[in-house]
Structure 1
Amino acid sequence: MTGAWRSVLPHLGHELPPDLSPPTATGPVTAQVPLELIRHSTSRREWWPVPEAVAEQYRRYRPTPLWRATRFEAEIGARVPIYVKYEGGNVSGSHKLNTALAQAHYYRAAGVRELVTGTGAGQWGTALAAACAAFGLSCVVFMVGGSLRDKPYRGSLMRLLGAEVHASPSPLTAIGTAAAGGRGGNSLALAIGEAVQYARQAPERAFCIGSGETYSILHQSVIGLEAIEQLAALGAGVDAVVGCVGAGSNFGGLALPFFAAHRAGELGAAPLLLAAESSATPKLTQGVYAYDHTDATGSGPMEAMYTIGAGYSISASHSAGLRFHGAAKLLSAMRHHGQIDAAAVGQRSAMLAAHAFARSELVVPAPESGHALAAAADVATGRDAGHRAAQGVLVCVSGHGLLDMTAYEQLRAGAVEDSTADAEALHAAVTGLTRVGTTMEVSR
């Protein structure tokens, strides 16, 4: 296991656009984020030692496995090797624990006693519940209501770990009360907004988020750093790296260490870095690069991101962890500068790929990871004419699907359908946003 996180910021060759105050702000926008996490997001320091208290927790499940998925290759007819980095073997069942432990450590050091968050599929909420248990903090989770109904045992697991769990929209916040009866039960932005409002109700609470922030992506760099070492130990090379994207911490954690290593002269040719998103929330493939809100309250800083609009009504899907309207500002800037690429994957294709992987490799992926597997399969077989690999493909299975049996049962029953974004609604949702610039062609 690596003893440090690696920042990609010194290797970008460009600055991230600054955050803006929302139009309704009457003064400076402040955040309850510990100073050390702010440093993680802004400093050009490259290597950050993992605190021993966090490293102690990491040693319970890291390093995570990497293997060549030969049976999956045969199942799909791959032309090149496919290597899998698996992050589902911890109590949260996903990569989210990597940053949850780090954040709980820093928030406790800053004097916070209760962390509040919003979660989509429940992986982040479970990870934060576990991290709070590890560091002696209270935890409150607002989970997307539709997802909690589909995955009730996610709620059970979070409660088992000591968290208080509420379906969003809830009656505990003004924004939740206002949204009750509408389509808010599918909105991760609303669940996050409820967490923001609830955290502000008491001084000992702090809102905590686990995907889109630059410091979260830094903490996830353990994934890619381990993968580079493990591939080297196997004498294997890859020229495509694939991960799924909700806001971006899984993909960023896997792919950006490869980008940094290439820029530092430690790797040969630059690999394709491919972000696999849901066709229901296609921010990187159909969105605009603009300043937008990160949650439904509209009270926090506006970030430069690829977005389909914070107000866009997102349809229900089994991949709630991908159901966020925007991509992380770090990944968005890299997309804008042609440093990463993206592909949109339909829900049925994702679930079929996940099912094939479960049958062949005997590991059940979360539906979110099915998007990465589908995109990786398209690259490895040559079905994706725009994204090719001649040497090998690395894909991250970012979480297990053992609590997603409703989705798999519906797949077996033929009841899983694709949900694509409505072009007219997309246009309306981004109308009026301040654009950052025009998208450049991807260069490798």
Structure 2
Amino acid sequence: MYNITLPSDEVPKHWYNINPDLPIELPMPIDGEGGHQVENLPIIFTKAVLEQEMSMERYIKIPKEVRDIYQRIGRPTPLFRAKSLEEKLNTPAKIYYKREDSSPAGSHKLNSALAQAYYAREEGVEKLTTETGAGQWGSALALACSMMGIECDVYMVKVSYNQKPFRKTVMELYNSNIYASPSMNTDVGRKINKETPEHPGSLGIAISEAIEVALANENTKYSLGSVLNHVMLHQTVIGQELKKQLEIAEEEPDVFIACVGGGSNFAGSMYPLIKDKLDGKIDAEFLAVEPSSCPTLTKGSYEYDFGDTEGFTPMLKMFTLGHDFIAPSVHAGGLRYHGMSPQVSVLAKANVIKPVSAAQEDIFKAAQLFASTEAIIPAPESSHALKIGIDEAKKAKETGEEKTIVINLSGHGLLDLQGYSDFLSGNLTQ
């Protein structure tokens, strides 16, 4: 069985909230010294997502309109067996990948974007502001806002803005306004541009700019694409579908793998399966793969830190490289974030999941192998998961172990061809 597709009525009716099942109680957000960041949260976010952020309900109902749109945009997404890749590797391992790359925006990000735009419209919000790294979240929110009839401003990390110009085109087609960050629109951006005119930007800076705009404008709210609990929640439609598909395939996987930057696609695909591990129903390994150039989980400190550069957000207990950390300009822009989801951080701290890292050259090699065997060009972010999945399959070849590996393919790379061109020509700089 190489392609397991569920009917549209199998789209989950509820999101799964891992908060009540975490092995360690999740530390609450706190203010920075002399700040009012927690007090400002209702100004920044919609009421609905703030309620979800703090909720201890295990299952939260998906609004009918959101679920209907999930069905219209292609959910449930298919689960594929990577038979050609297995044959190329000559491995006894079975490799499966969940295809989140086939959404209209090209990634898993639309699952949360639609929910957040829906809640914003229902509360009378006229505009959402946000950040984006590689552009996948920005594209998703731009589309969601267009579908919900509200405006959208996107602050895109400058290095990715320049590396991926057609992401800007996609967002403009969805009627959004796109700004290279640091921009000249905000006090934060103007300050950084004055101090460091050639600054490549970072997700932390782009978040600060988007929040500054939301704080200053009535009927404008901020929307985050990763890290926070409510974003993790919305993505769990992936893992719930995946559980059903694995049951149909009669598979009990040994290893689950997804990339991590802020944590959304890892959480979405893995949380429903991690619940089974916490409940003692399965004994699988969960690998969270990050860039070796931005090693938040593998080399960061577990402490309270701001989610943005300027300190507009509350301080979150998470693995962090420091909110002023500037990652090298690798092509996996969606993983160039200094911090990690507090929930994912708790799971790493409790050794429920295992963080690993991968270098840029190696992930592009894995991506080329996957493209040449499975006919899909993966995003550089997803290629981190593919690289480690291929490593696991090679280990199985050495030991003769017939293990089953499941990878979340979180996005396509069709707008990342500059990165592929640099790789093929030997011009990768990091």
1:21-420 to 2 correspondence within 5 Å?
A: 21-25=31-35, 29-31=39-41, 32-60=44-72, 61-180=74-193, 181-182=196-197, 184-264=199-279, 267=281, 269-382=282-395, 391-417=403-429, 419=430
Encode CA deviations 1:12-47: one digit per residue, 9 max, x unaligned. 232101111012416853212233322322222111
Encode CA deviations 1:89-146: one digit per residue, 9 max, x unaligned. 1221000000000111112222211000010000000000011011111000000111
Question: Which residue number in structure 2 is paired with residue 14 of structure 1?
Answer: 24
**Structure 1 residues 177 and 384: alpha-carbon distance in aligned structure 2, compared to 1, 3 A threshold:** farther
**Structure 1 residues 38 and 156: alpha-carbon distance in aligned structure 2, compared to 1, 3 A threshold:** same
183-192 vs 101-110, greater mean Cα deviation: 183-192
Encode CA deviations 1:156-198: one digit per residue, 9 max, x unaligned. 0000001000011110001111111445324111111111112
Q: Which one-letter code corresponds to 1:140 in the other structure?
A: D
Q: Which one-letter code corresponds to 2:427 in the other structure?
A: A
The alpha carbon displacement at 1:339 in A equals 1.2
Alpha-carbon separation, structure 2, partners of 1:172 and 1:133: 23
**Structure 1 residues 294 and 390: alpha-carbon distance in aligned structure 2, compared to 1, 3 A threshold:** farther
CA contact (8 A) 1:79 1:381 kept: no
Query: What TM-score, normalized by structure 2, do the two folds share?
Result: 0.93
CA contact (8 A) 1:354 1:373 kept: yes
Question: Which residue number in structure 2 is paired with residue 4 of structure 1?
Answer: 14
Aligned-partner SS, 2:415: coil
Alpha-carbon separation, structure 2, partners of 1:384 and 1:134: 47
Aligned-partner SS, 2:129: strand
Q: Which one-letter code corresponds to 1:227 in the other structure?
A: L
CA contact (8 A) 2:364 2:380 kept: yes
5+ residue gaps, structure 2: 1-10
The alpha carbon displacement at 1:380 in A equals 2.1
Q: Which one-letter code corresponds to 1:220 in the other structure?
A: Q
Q: Which one-letter code corresponds to 1:138 in the other structure?
A: E
CA contact (8 A) 2:361 2:428 kept: yes
Moved over 4 A (4+): none
Alpha-carbon separation, structure 1, partners of 2:343 and 2:369: 32
Percent identity, please. Answer: 36
**Structure 1 residues 295 and 390: alpha-carbon distance in aligned structure 2, compared to 1, 3 A threshold:** farther
69-78 vs 329-338, greater mean Cα deviation: 69-78
Q: Which one-letter code corresponds to 2:107 in the other structure?
A: S
Question: Which residue number in structure 1 is paired with residue 4 of structure 2?
Answer: none
CA contact (8 A) 2:23 2:347 kept: no
Aligned-partner SS, 2:423: helix
**Structure 1 residues 352 and 38: alpha-carbon distance in aligned structure 2, compared to 1, 3 A threshold:** same
